[in-house]
């Protein structure tokens, strides 16, 4: 089942640049499990002085998907923002697992982007898999290999 992407009115403080050609998807957790798309937007403006929420998409615990920056260059993975789609899940997956609904939604939108932009499963990565990143993001309990296997399984069913 394909889930819709909710678009809420987020005001960005600068003009955003379109992502030219997304080549990978980077998965994140918010670390603070209480963050919502709106509070993250506010936090990224106030604390980091960014134009607005750094993530391209955001998935709350309910599985509801929200557009953050959408297909405009984000601020979520240093040196990789221009050609990647950053998706954040609300939660701290060093301590908890994502909800089933979150995983379902994440699979759905990853598959959509993978098909639309011709992104291979191996290019769906966790933030910590980027060279030089010391964070555990998207959390120690988030098994990226298992997640990619799930994507491959689902892709096989679609084809």
Residues near Zn ion (CB under 5 A) are 28, 127, 137
Least distance in angstroms from the C-beta of 137 to Zn ion: 3
Of 55 and 113, CB closest to Zn ion: 55
Least distance in angstroms from the C-beta of 138 to Zn ion: 6
Q: How many helices (H) and strands (E) does the chain have?
A: 3, 6
Closest CA to 57 of 121, 122, 10: 10
120 Cβ neighbours under 8 A, 6+ residues apart: 114
The three-state secondary structure class of 71 is: coil
Of 109 and 137, CB closest to Zn ion: 137
Of 47 and 159, CB closest to Zn ion: 47
Least distance in angstroms from the C-beta of 19 to Zn ion: 17
């Amino acid at each position: 089942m394909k889930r819709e992407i909710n678009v809420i009115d987020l005001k960005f403080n600068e003009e955003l640049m379109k992502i030219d050609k997304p080549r990978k998807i980077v998965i994140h957790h918010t670390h603070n499990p209480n963050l919502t798309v709106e509070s993250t937007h506010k936090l990224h403006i106030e604390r980091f002085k960014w134009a607005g929420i750094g993530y391209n998409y955001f998935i709350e615990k309910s599985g509801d998907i929200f557009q953050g920056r959408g297909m405009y260059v984000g601020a979520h993975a240093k040196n990789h923002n221009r050609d990647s789609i950053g998706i954040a899940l609300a939660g701290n997956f060093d301590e908890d697992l994502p909800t089933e609904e979150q995983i379902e939604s994440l699979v759905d939108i990853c598959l959509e982007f993978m098909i639309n932009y011709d992104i291979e499963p191996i290019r769906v990565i966790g933030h910590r898999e980027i060279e030089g990143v010391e964070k555990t993001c998207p959390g120690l309990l988030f098994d990226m290999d298992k997640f990619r296997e799930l994507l491959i399984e689902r892709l096989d069913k679609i084809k």
